[in-house]
Amino acid sequence: MQAYRLLTEEDTSAFCHKVTEALSKGWTLYGDPAYAHDPVTGKMRCAQAVVKDAPGDYAPDIKLGAL
């Protein structure tokens, strides 16, 4: 199974750490990052999709962050 996650965070070092942690756990970048203004909070937000090959079949209760 190929797992997919979309990592999001405010535009701070926390976002870079979140993506770096996923990469260190075997996830691979998927596509380009996105950067957008959140009008509710007034802050910029980043997003990056990641994918990972994982054993087994998909089930809706899979904890993707634990893969």
pLDDT tens, per residue, the chain with 67 residues: 999 999 999 999 999 999 999 999 999 999 999 999 999 999 999 999 999 999 999 999 999 988 9
C-alpha 45, offset from chain centre: 13
> Residue 17 in 3-state DSSP?
helix
Distance CA 33, CA 43 (A): 17
Q: What is the DSSP letter of 57?
A: -
| Residue at 40: amino acid letter | V
For the chain, the domains span: 2-55
pTM above 0.95, yes or no: no
SS3 41: coil
